[in-house]
Amino acid sequence: MKYDLSEINNIIENRRTIYPELFSSRKVHKEQIDRLLMNATWAPSHGMTQPWRFKVFMNDGLKKLSKYQSELYQTIIAEDDFNEMKFEKLINRPILSSAVVAICMQRQKSKKIPEIDFNKTVTINSRIVFGNTDNYTFDYSFIYYKISNTKF
């Protein structure tokens, strides 16, 4: 076997969620993100559609994302359902990260494959590719609202 299964098992078993509030001061470099995105293109997809699209936010882009998602939350959430803690996280978490990768989905035009299958493919492959980035101040986000066509 080309790869050591025990090393792969170790990576999977020791993966942990680390929230931006607990990130170290270590920065993620553009080259590291580029490599992760290159790896993502190798992930299997349903029907070879590769429905994922990535938007990378760094530097001033993090402030724009913070503003965008907190304003969007205020607009789409009913007043009775508004959660101040969630709203604050939407403002603060991007700014605490050195980079955020928004993972979007673009469904095929023919709609031959059901949308739920695309959602599963994007989610699973994104977790595989980005799920082992715990050593960096890097946030990967599943953003399900229409961010893919938004200009920042």
115 domain residue, yes or no = yes
Residues in the chain: 152
The model carries a pTM of: 0.73
136 domain residue, yes or no = yes
7 domain residue, yes or no = no
Cα dist from 37 to 17, 34, 53, 121, 125, whole Å: 20, 5, 10, 16, 11
Looking at residue 109, which CATH number applies to its domain? 3.40.109.10
In tens digits, what is the pLDDT along the chain, a chain of 152 residues? 677 888 878 877 877 777 888 888 888 889 988 888 888 777 777 777 777 788 899 999 999 999 999 999 999 999 999 999 999 999 999 999 888 888 777 777 877 778 777 777 777 767 666 665 554 545 444 444 444 445 55
Per-residue three-class SS string for 102-125? EEEECCCCCCCCCHHHHHHHHHHH
d(CA 117, CA 120): 5
Cα dihedral value 86, 61, 56, 67, nearest 10: 20
70 domain residue, yes or no = yes
The overall average pLDDT reported for the chain is: 78
Sheet of strand 138-142: strand arrangement = 52-58, 99-105, 138-142
9 domain residue, yes or no = no
pLDDT per position as a tens digit, 133-148: 554 545 444 444 444 4
132 domain residue, yes or no = yes
Number of domains, the chain: 1
For 88, the domain range is 30-142
Tokens of residue 4, six digits: 């050591």
Which residue has 């170290």 as its token pair?
24
